[in-house]
Structures are given as C-alpha cells and as structure tokens.
Chain A
Amino acid sequence: MKKIIYFLLFLGFVGTSIFSISSCKTSAAVKEKTGAVLWSENCSRCHYSPDPEDYNDAQWEVIVMHMRVRTGLTEEESQKITKFLQDSN
C-alpha cells in the first residue's frame, strides 16, 4: 500500500514537473524544423533509417507511432516526420 502511495506521489511529481518544464520557451529555429530535418536527426539515432519508399502511408503512421512511444519522441516531431515520410514515398 505504502509503495502504491509513493508511486502515485511520484507520478504526480513527474506530471507537475512536465507541466512546468514544458512551458520553457523553445526557439523559433527549433519550432520551425521541417519533417525532413527531424527525420534525419531522429530516425537514425539508433538504427539506419529506412527509406521513405519502404512502407506505405498507413504503415508509416503505425511505425512512427510505435517509435514515438518506444523512444520518447515528442508529438510534434512524430507528426511532422509521419507527414514527411508519407509525402516522400
């Protein structure tokens, strides 16, 4: 029981921190990064990134969602990357 309470407290702490930290200002250069740039920066961090032509639009949507959750990409990044991959296949 005690552990569950600690876990909830911790969850709360993380939730609050995320809320306050995420209000830090992001520069325009980072905000305006294109899907292509984000793809080349992020998708080859762990493995060589597959070619956009390797999968169809629906498959890219599923794959990027999988990668977003597995590797902690932000929502904005994954949306832009999905669009880029779908536009270039």
Chain B
Amino acid sequence: MLKKVTYVLAMVFPTLVCNIAFGQHQTHEPKLNSEFHGLSGVTKNVIIGYAYSDFIISPNSDVKTNFTRVGFSPTMIWQLGDKLFFESQVEFYTDSGNVNTRVEYAKLSFIVNKYMTIGMGKILTPFGLYTERIEAPFIEKLPNAPLFFKHYEGSPNIGPICPEMGLDVRGGFQVGDAKMNYVLYVSNGAKLVDGTKEVHLAGALNYENFFDNNSNKAFGGRIGYLPLSNSTLEIGGSWNISKPGDVKSVYQNLQAKAYSFDVTYHKTIKPIRSMVDFKAQVNFLTLDKASFMNEAGESYAFENKSHIYYLRFSLRPTQLRNKYIRRTELIARYNAASLAHDALWGGEFHRIDVGLSYWLSLRTGLRIAYEKGEEGHGVKTEAILVRFVTGF
C-alpha cells in the first residue's frame, strides 16, 4: 500500500514540477523553424579564464625557495538560443616538474524556466561555497586554499570538495525582498579508500570518483538564503548522502553523510572608507563504523567522524584617495580540521594565514601571505607564499 502511495506521489509531484516549469510557455506561438522555443538562434561564445604563477619560501624545508607552480585555465562557454549553454574549463598546470591537464568541469545546461536550470556532465559540486564560488585563483584572495578544502592526491576529502560526474537542478528566486537559491544534484558520489593499496588512508573518502565503483548514487544539494534586499549577506546549508564502498565488498552498505554551513558578508562601510568581506564554511562528515587492516595486518575499527572549517576576513580601503592604498587588500584566515582521531590519517590540524593582495586591476593581483600552523601529530609548518594571478 505504502509503496503504491509512494509511486502515485512520485508521479504527481514531477508532473506538478513540469507544470510549473513549462506552464509559462503555453501562450507562446510555436515557431515554424524550431521544435523547442529558445533553442535556435545565433550561437554565441566566449573564452574567459585565469592564469597564475606561484613562489614559495619555506624556512623549515631543505629547499628554502621554490618557483613551484604555474597554471592557466581557459573557460569556454557556448550559448545556443536563450535556453541552452555549454561550459567547460580545462586546467593546465605544472607541479613538481610535471605538466598536468584536466577537465575541471564540462556541463551542458538547459534553462527550463525562470526558476529552474538542469545541467549534466562534470559539475563543480555545490557543497558549501568554496568549490563552486571561491576556489578560482583570481577569486581566492590568498595564494592557497583553506586547509583540506582543496583536493590533493593522498589527502582525505571531508565532504565533496572536487568536481563530480552528475546532474544538477538549480535556480534562484525572490522571496519578498529577500532571495533564495537552490541546487539539487545526483552524482557518482564518494569512493571509500579501503586501505588495500593506501594503508594509511583506510577509511578516508575520495570524491574524485569519475567512473563509479557502485550503483549507488549520491544525493545532495544546497539552499542559499539572502535575507537582506541589497544581497550583502548569504547563508547556506548543504548536504550530501552517499554509499562509498566498492560494489560487492564488505563495505558496500556503509553510508557517508556530509553537511556544510556557509556564510558570506560583503559591504562597503563608509565610516572606515573600506570594503569588508567575510566568508566562512564548516564541513562535517560521518561514515558508518567499519574495520580496516593496518600495516601489520591487524584489524582495527574507529569512529569515522571529521570536520573542517575556515573563517576569512578581508578589508580593502576602496574609498581612500591614495591609489596605492586603495589597491591594497588585507586578508586574514583561520583554518582548522579535526579528522577522525583513531584513523591513521586522523588528528588535529590548524593554520593561520595572513596576507596582502595588491590589485593591479579588478582581476589582476599580486599576493603574498605568511602561514603558520600545526599538522596532525604536532608537526609545525611555516611558509611564505607569493602568487601572481590574473583573470581574463
């Protein structure tokens, strides 16, 4: 009975959604030369993107100064008619002497109506704000990413922090004088590192799962709310539920739940003649308890709960007369991570970053930052980073 009711509801709701979706076009006269309204017309395209180059001074390492990385990412967007567009970003970078290429995202989107756009492909997962809206180097005001908010080979992912293969539905709308935006998505989801190859990472998740390891799909979304009519404040909540274990393995029924909250506030404050910008995000991840093998072949289990967060504050005296001061932005960020304590990759991490960005244009900045922190089991870190970046 319950099953039948569910089926009926499952039929009714999408119909309702489609009604809302297509309802507004019912009065349009169908065009003779196009099957779908809005899908014909001149194809327009644009290439935007960014380029950057990094230099690091690390007093505690053997190599104290290093030009480490240079990268550029052309972003290509094609728009066909007023409803369909394709966006793709290719990333080229050299790191540790190797040249790497990868497709950061590639997504075909269809604007169904004013409230809803559907897209499919390799998507930037809208979990919190960082990955989708801040990570691009010409936007991130510091020379590097907050601790654990960017995917690196061999480090655990606390929530989806990298692009994923999937489908998303998204939109934005007015709620009185406030605004809301939403994204819902289904994707391949995380992959569990079971420790057979990388023993020290057993129990960690990797969201770079481009060819799924099981038939379970991850479901997630983000709801953003802008309560003030001048759009200065946005608060968001995100979730992502997945089963990350390999199909037919003992881990196949384990469930991973990730949640995130984010805040952003941005305003020009006249009395201090400056623009202030505050951003913060926290990610929580819980994976069902399971046993793994350590290097000695002994089995161990642990409470697999982790969280990471960062707070970033920046100030730029945009309204002062002196143009050199006007172009200078001061930035401070606190990063912290508490990773599953009994995991081989677990521990407490924290780092403070203070930096300065000198803006040569609206999208070109010379950035310098000092970072000091402590990793995992008491290892101290310290570095000075320099990045020269431009958006085009």
Contact = CB atoms under 8 A, between A and B. Distances in A.
A49 interface: yes
Interface of B: 6-7, 9-10, 12-14, 16-17, 20-21, 42, 44-46, 48, 77-79, 82, 85, 87, 109, 111, 114-117, 119, 132-134, 136, 138-139, 169-177, 179-184, 186, 216-217, 219, 224, 229-232, 234, 264, 266, 359, 362-363, 391
Given A7-B184, A11-B169, A66-B85, 17 more contacts: A5-B6, A7-B186, A9-B13, A15-B21, A16-B13, A18-B171, A26-B174, A27-B176, A44-B266, A45-B231, A46-B139, A48-B362, A65-B82, A71-B133, A72-B182, A74-B174, A74-B179
Contact of A65 (B16, B79, B266, B391): B79
Given A3-B217, A15-B20, A51-B362, A69 B170 contact: yes
B176 A15 contact: no
B181 A69 contact: no
Chief secondary structure at chain A's binding surface? helix
* Interface hub of B7, B119, B184 (most chain A Cβ within 10 A): B184
16 contacts: A9-B10, A22-B115, A22-B174, A26-B176, A45-B232, A47-B138, A47-B391, A48-B363, A61-B44, A62-B78, A62-B79, A63-B48, A68-B172, A69-B117, A72-B170, A74-B179
A19 B21 CA distance: 10
B114 A74 contact: yes
Contacts of B12: 12
Interface residues of A, number: 50
Given A7-B186, A72-B170, A42 B181 contact: no
B316 to A, nearest CB: 9
A66 B6 contact: no
